[in-house]
Structure 1
């Protein structure tokens, strides 16, 4: 994109007569495009127009700088996103599916080796029955060396 810069001293087209008229005030009548302005008025307003043009150019330069900063930030963000995408792509490409299958098989073997509900229920019943029997024996005969039986024989 070509950048076109306005110039302050551009050559005027001699075929079209141009006059510079001062800005209107509320007390004086003003006709747009009137050629009644004096040459002194043209000299007085020209520096003001040049000053206004320079302010416009400064604002345009600030806007261009802001645009350049935003463009740099977006470029860095795009580069970061692209690096992340390459890393994800590389990680997905190097995944070892055979190792994952092996891990899943070993996990399945461990789950299969755990006791099922029937085994757990049987263990609970046997534990409860043995606990009751041992409690009755301790209450009847006591613990040798600590205390005697609490129930009559």
Structure 2
């Protein structure tokens, strides 16, 4: 930042304020803040004695004080600019992340996921339930008993004869 050299002007009238209030902080960087206008106005007492002399405008103490004020305001402006740069970078990073999430959500194929879920549901629905399993167990046990009785009564042809004889 370029340093602004102090200028000495005639004192402002007593009705105008000596220092303008700082601008309100805005989170969006519209434009750099204007350089603060600092006017040094001597305090005008209500009843000034006639013998007192007004200090000349080129008083070195006033110039030194004015230069210190300008240096402090320049440092404050630099800090503000640094914070503004940090916030701008953070905003840009957040915006990039939001775009990546948006792009990832846009590329997901919801139709294929829906199709896979439907196929899995059909496979689950095709598995036998408890009623089917109990019916299969009962039929298997009844057939096993009937076949065992038939083998014991008539035997297996070619291996052995019937074990139950009458």
TM-score, normalised by the number of residues in structure 1: 0.50
* Corresponding residue of 1:37: 52
In the alignment, structure 2 segments of 5+ residues that lack a partner are 12-40, 139-166
The offset of 1:77, in angstroms, is 1.3
CA distance in 2, matches of 1:32, 1:9: 29
Could you report, residue by residue, the CA deviation over 1:20-68 in whole angstroms, capped at 9, with x for unpaired residues?
A: 97x9xxxxxx7665563347x648x922222221221122112111211
In structure 1, the partner of 2:129 is 116
Alignment of 1:2-151 (within 5 A): 7-12=5-10, 36-38=51-53, 42=56, 46-119=59-132, 122=134
The answer for unaligned runs of 5 or more in structure 1 is: 14-19, 24-29, 127-153
**1:54-109: CA deviations, max 9, x gaps?**
22112211211121111111111111121122112222222222211221122212
Q: Residues 109 and 54 of structure 1: is their aligned pair in 2 closer, same or farther, counting only changes over 3 Å?
A: same
Q: Residue 16 of structure 1 corresponds to which residue in structure 2?
A: none
Highest relative contact order (Cα 8 Å, sep 6+), 1 or 2? 2
Contact residue 6 and residue 63 of structure 2 kept, 8 A: yes
Residues 12 and 98 of structure 1: is their aligned pair in 2 closer, same or farther, counting only changes over 3 Å?
same
Q: Partners of 1:117 and 1:108 in 2: how far apart?
A: 18
Structure 2: how far apart are the matches of 1:89 and 1:119? 48
RMSD: 3.8
